[in-house]
A and B are shown apart, each in its own frame.
Chain A
Amino acid sequence: MNATATATGTVVGTYLTFQVANEEYGVEILKVREIIGMLPITPVPGSPGVMLGVVNLRGKVIPVISMRSRFTLPAAEAHPHNVIIVVEGATSGSPIGLAVDCVKEVAKFTPDDTEPPPAYGLDIDTSLVAAIGKNHDRIRILLDLSKVLAAI
């Protein structure tokens, strides 16, 4: 079930989708460790702006990244649906939290359901996008997690 890039740059696999601002995004389900409700976040001085801070995940201190700020979208009021998606870190494999507005569903994508990211017209940096999912009459932006976590 691993997501694999096909010749056309589209992806196949199972994704966890979530909402940030007006768009629905997806990350590979295999990279997701768990979904937790919002926790009190301790800001870490001197860290990059996308990093909200650190939280106590059952005794482990893990960093949390704001997906709004990663996509250079404006911050929003806190909402009870806000959650942290805990994913495996790109390099060390240690967990990293992604703060999102809310989670939506777990969806499967076949090559027919996806197409390569367009060069223009997206709210976010195209280089973060692996493919566009277009099944179930919805447009969902499937993210390349390693790029999302890199360089911040």
Chain B
Amino acid sequence: MQTNAPQPDEAVYVTKAQASFTELLAEREAIILDLDNLHYYTLNAPAIFLWKQLGERVAQTATTLARRLASAFNLNDDTQAERDVRGFLDSLRSFGLIETTSAPAGATASVFEKLTFAAYETPQLRLSNSLSQVVLSGSSTIATAAIATG
């Protein structure tokens, strides 16, 4: 039986509280709005899987995440799973969406174990754009033009 116990030198990750995750199509379409900087991200199926593992503290280290990813998507190549997970964690870290914690990794039963997942592709977190600009919607452009023309 596999365990979620981290390797001694492995960081334990948790998702940032201000990252608002919403699953739009079960296991297939999801978004994250980072409420700190209003960056808006879309995730593919493996990325959704990994984010939920982190968010629900099912798996929180690269090793345990890779094991679960390989299991969920029927990957035979553990090396690929580990490489993809580390790449994904690098993306999350660079965008500031995860933090390391000194708390031990969680061992909650996975809610995914009985689900069937889509065909595997590299986990992707795509920064769509930032919504951080304060928007003055409405008729202001028209009004501006009206004033400019008297």
**A-B interaction:** no
